[in-house]
Amino acid sequence: MTDSADNNFDLVILGGGSGGYACALRAVQLDLKVAVIEKDKLGGTCLHTGCIPTKALLHAAEVADAARDSAAVGVKTTFDGIDMKGVNGFKETVVSRLYRGLQGMIKGAGITVYEGEGKLVGTDTVEVGGQRVTGKNVVLATGSYARTLPGLEIGGRVITSEQALELYEVPQSVVIIGGSVIGVEFASVWKSFGADVTIVEALPTLVPLEDPTLSKQLERAFRKRKIAFKTASRFTGVEHHDDRVTVSLESGDTLDADLVLVAVGRGPRSEGFGFEDQGVTVDRGWVPTNERLATNVPGIYAVGDLVPGLQLAHRGFAHGIFVAEEIAGLKPMPVIDSGIPRVTYCDPEIASVGLTEPQAREKYGEVDTYEYNLGGNGRSQILQTAGLVKLVREKDGPIVGVHMVGARFGEQVGEASLIVNWEAFPEDVAQFVHAHPTQNEALGEASLALAGKPLHAHA
C-alpha cells in the first residue's frame, strides 16, 4: 500500500504492552503524533498472562488460607475446597475491567492503533497488514516469552505459566522447574489450593537474585508451609506417562507429579520482526541500548523486557515514559535498574530495592547492616506473619539497599524506593514518624536502630 500522510507519525511503537502503551500515553501528552502496532491485546503479558492474573490467583490463595486457618483468631468457618471455575471467573473479571479501562485511555488519547503483526522494514518504517507506517522515531517494545530448557518440550503435562493460568482443576501434585519469582509464586498458589508442590532450582538458593537473608527466610517459611524444594539441583529429563510425568535430576533422583511447570524465566521476543535486517544489534535475542534506551540505529529505541536487565512491568512503564520524554527533548533522568523496586508475591511476600549486601560490599567495601525482626512489630503479629526488614548502608553513608520479607510487605516497597533513590541516611528516615501499629513502622524501627537509637528493637 502506498504511504499517505495518515500513516506518518512522530513515533511508531511496535508492541502495546507495558512499555509500549506507557510510551504512547506519555508521548501524546507531549503533543506527539503516535501509532501503536499490536498483534494481540493492548496491555501485553503483564495484563493478560502475567502480573495481574497471577496476583488474582494469589489473592484467592490468601482467602483460602484465611478460611482454612480462621479458628486461630476465633472465627468459625468451613473450607470446602477450591472452585477453579469461580477462581478463573474472578481473575477474568479483574483482567477484563482493567483491559476496558486501558482501551478507553488509548482511544481517548487519540492514539492510532494498528492491529496485526508488525515488521520493521526500514529504519523508520513498520509494515503491518499490508500497510506501511512511518515514524520520525521507532520504539521496539515486543516484550518477552516464557523460556524452557533443552530437552524440556512444552506440551501435555509440561506447561508454562501461561497454561497454568488456564487450568480448570487443581493438580494433586506439581513439580516446578525454577525457584525464582514465577516458580515461588505458583508454588505458593498451588500449596494454598491444596496441591503437593516440589520446586527444583539449579542455583544454591530459592529467589537467588535476592539478598541471601531473604532467600533463607523464604526457605524457612516454605518448609513451615510444607512446600518442598531442591536447590543446587539440575533437571536432566522428563518422561511422560498417561496419568503423570516423571522428572529426572542430575543427582539421579526422580520426581513424579500430575504436572510440571517450567518457570525458568522469560526470553526477549525479537525474532521475526526484521530488527537485524535494518541494522539493529541483537545479542542472544536481546536488543542492547545505551542508558538513553537508544539502539545502535539512530531514531530507533527499545524498551521493557527486550532490553537486558530486570524484567518487570513497572520497568517497562518507566522505560516507555523515559523514551517519550527523550524524543520530546525533555532530557529525563535515566532509568537505573538498581533503583527499581522488586516484589515477589508469594506467601510470605518479598520486597526489595537497591543493592544486596554482597553487591554493596563489592561496590563500597565496608557496609553496615541491620535486620529488624517482625516479631517486634504489632501489626505483623496481628497478621500472624514472620519475617524481617534488612537495611544495608554504605559505611557512614546512605542506605543503599532495603530488603523485606513478610505477609503484605510488597505494599511497603514504596517508602523503601524513596529511601534508596533519594540516598537517605538512617538518621533521615528515623526523624519521620511512622504510624503505629502498621507494618510500615518496621522501616522506621530498622532506621532508628541503624541510626543508633533503637526503640522496639535491640541495638
Is 436 part of the annotated catalytic residue set? Answer: yes
For 279, other C-beta atoms within 10 Å of its C-beta total: 12
Distance of CA 259 to the CA centre of its chain: 23
Tell me, what's the pLDDT at 432?
A: 96
- Per the structure block, which three cell numbers stand in for 190? 498451588
User: May I ask the CATH architecture of the domain 348-450?
Assistant: 2-Layer Sandwich (3.30)
pLDDT at 1: 33
CA 326 to mean position of chain CA atoms = 25
| Grid cell for residue 280 | 539493529
Catalytic entry in 59, 314, 434, 436: 436
Best CA proximity match to 135, nearest among 123, 120, 124, 119 = 124
* Three cell numbers, residue 54: 497471577
Check pLDDT > 80 for residue 5: no
pLDDT digits (tens, 9 = 90+) for 410-456: 999 999 999 999 999 999 999 999 999 999 999 999 999 999 999 98
Q: Is residue 202's pLDDT more than 70?
A: yes
Average pLDDT, whole number, for the chain?
Answer: 96
pLDDT for residue 29 is more than 80: yes
Which value, in Å, is the radius of gyration of the alpha carbons in the chain? 24
Q: Decide if 5-146+268-337 and 348-450 have a common fold.
A: no
Beta bridge partners of 283: 286
pLDDT at residue number 3: 40
Domain 5-146+268-337 top-level CATH class: alpha beta
3-state secondary structure of 95: helix
Residue range 175-182: average pLDDT?
98
C-alpha cell of 200?
Answer: 527444583
Considering the domain delimited by 158-264, tell me its CATH architecture.
Answer: 3-Layer(bba) Sandwich (3.50)
Domain boundaries, given as residue ranges, for the chain: 5-146+268-337, 158-264, 348-450
Cα separation of 165 and 211, whole Å?
A: 29
Q: Give the Å distances, CA to CA, from 5 to 8, 23, 115, 324.
A: 5, 22, 19, 22
Q: What share of the chain is helix, strand, coil (3-state, %, to 5)?
A: 35, 25, 40
Mean pLDDT of 4-30: 93
- pLDDT of amino acid 90: 98
User: Can you list the alpha helix ranges (DSSP code H) found in 259-367?
Assistant: 313-327, 357-364
Q: What are phi and psi of 48, to 5 degrees?
A: -100, -35
Q: Where are the alpha helices (DSSP H) in 235-335?
A: 313-327
The Cα 260–Cα 29 span in angstroms is 45
Give percent of the chain above pLDDT 90.
96
What SS3 class is residue 200? strand
